């Protein structure tokens, strides 16, 4: 195949992918079309179509009532957005939409991805907008978005003092699923400050706040932190969180931690957790 034929083939594949992006009505179909598009040349044409589709869906929300199509389109703009798109992205970070009849707020993904794209283009503006978004409220209770993304933006900007305050006292009243993110940026704190934050997290007896403690406890080989983690895993009633801890420890080759935990499990009072541990150890 000569150069012209190859170029013609690429152009035909690009046009087919763009047509699929324009026409996709369901999130799964759009995600597949965007996956195909990402493998092809023609970034300028892709950007134009992504923006046009996003704006069309924003103008006619009935075609994207839950916001998932626009969330996917904003995600696909990664490395494609330009300075000209900053006003659109800023508007996306301010978008609140509600789905009847429950009036559930559904644009949290749009706000989060808008902030992600804004960060790529204007870090200072993204940092200021991230702080504003923490006070917006109406974050998703399961994912913690968009506050969780806002905390990542602040972490990447080195705003560790602010994240420390959020982890310690949660002045914005963030949901646990969002507040959990703050701890993941604080692993470089002096031990006394880190321990204070972890103690605050575990006081709440909330799985969302236990998960980042698991991540830190598995990653860092520090005696006092491992002791706290083991005690927390013995105390929690959430077997799924216990399972997550064993999986994380196994993936990071922390057999020593798993064995310490096994030695503390009571076969009568902790039978379900022991069964999980044995099940996962057999599978490794």
Q: Is 160 exposed, middle or buried (0-12, 13-18, 19+ CB in 10 A)?
A: middle
Low-confidence residues in the chain, pLDDT < 50: 1
Q: Report the pLDDT value the prediction gives residue 5, as an integer from 0 to 100.
A: 57
Q: Report the pLDDT value the prediction gives residue 144, as an integer from 0 to 100.
A: 95
Q: Report the pLDDT value the prediction gives residue 175, as an integer from 0 to 100.
A: 95
Tell me if 58 sits within 8 A of 70, measured CB to CB: yes
Counting Cα atoms < 13 Å in the Cβ hemisphere of 245 gives 33
Residue 211: give the domain boundaries: 187-284
Q: What global pTM score does this model have? A: 0.86
Q: Is the residue at 66 inside a domain?
A: no
Q: Report the pLDDT value the prediction gives residue 280, as an integer from 0 to 100.
A: 83
Q: Is the residue at 141 inside a domain?
A: no
Q: Is the residue at 45 inside a domain?
A: no
Tell me if 241 sits within 8 A of 229, measured CB to CB: no
Q: Report the pLDDT value the prediction gives residue 284, as an integer from 0 to 100.
A: 52
Q: Report the pLDDT value the prediction gives residue 282, as an integer from 0 to 100.
A: 56
* 3-class secondary structure, 38: helix
Dihedral angle of Cα 137, 143, 147, 153, to the nearest 10 degrees? -170
CA atoms of 21 and 205, how far apart (whole Å): 44
Tally of structural domains, the chain: 1
Q: Is the residue at 196 inside a domain?
A: yes
Q: Report the pLDDT value the prediction gives residue 281, as an integer from 0 to 100.
A: 74
Q: Is the residue at 282 inside a domain?
A: yes
Q: Is the residue at 254 inside a domain?
A: yes
Residue 104's DSSP bridge partners are 99
Q: Report the pLDDT value the prediction gives residue 3, as an integer from 0 to 100.
A: 54
Q: Report the pLDDT value the prediction gives residue 181, as an integer from 0 to 100.
A: 96
Distances in Å between the alpha carbon of 142 and those of 73, 110, 145, 176, 247?
22, 16, 8, 9, 21
Q: Is the residue at 234 inside a domain?
A: yes
Non-local (6+) Cβ contacts of 106 within 8 A are: 65, 66, 67, 97, 98, 99
Q: Is the residue at 261 inside a domain?
A: yes
Tokens coding 202: 């575990």
């Amino acid at each position: 195949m000569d150069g012209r034929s190859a170029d013609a083939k690429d152009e035909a594949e690009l046009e087919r992918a763009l047509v699929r992006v324009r026409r996709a009505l369901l999130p799964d179909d759009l995600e597949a079309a965007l996956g195909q598009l990402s493998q092809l040349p023609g970034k300028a044409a892709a950007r134009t179509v992504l923006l046009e589709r996003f704006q069309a869906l924003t103008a006619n929300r009935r075609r994207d009532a839950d916001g998932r199509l626009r969330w996917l389109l904003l995600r696909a703009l990664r490395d494609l957005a330009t300075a000209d798109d900053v006003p659109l992205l800023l508007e996306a970070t301010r978008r609140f939409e509600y789905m009847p009849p429950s009036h559930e707020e559904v644009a949290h993904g749009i706000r989060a991805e808008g902030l992600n794209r804004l960060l790529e283009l204007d870090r200072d503006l993204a940092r200021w907008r991230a702080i504003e978004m923490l006070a917006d409220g109406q974050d998703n209770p399961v994912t913690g978005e968009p506050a969780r993304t806002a905390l990542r933006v602040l972490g990447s900007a080195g705003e560790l003092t602010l994240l420390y305050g959020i982890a310690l006292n949660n002045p914005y009243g963030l949901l646990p699923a969002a507040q959990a993110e703050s701890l993941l940026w604080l692993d470089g704190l002096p031990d006394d400050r880190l321990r204070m934050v972890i103690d605050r997290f575990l006081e709440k007896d909330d799985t969302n706040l236990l998960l980042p403690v698991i991540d830190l406890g598995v990653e860092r080989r520090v005696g006092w932190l491992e002791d706290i983690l083991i005690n927390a895993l013995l105390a929690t009633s959430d077997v799924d969180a216990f399972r997550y801890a064993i999986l994380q420890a196994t993936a990071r080759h922390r057999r020593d931690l798993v064995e310490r935990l096994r030695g503390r499990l009571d076969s009568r009072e902790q039978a379900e957790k022991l069964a999980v541990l044995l099940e996962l150890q057999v599978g490794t």
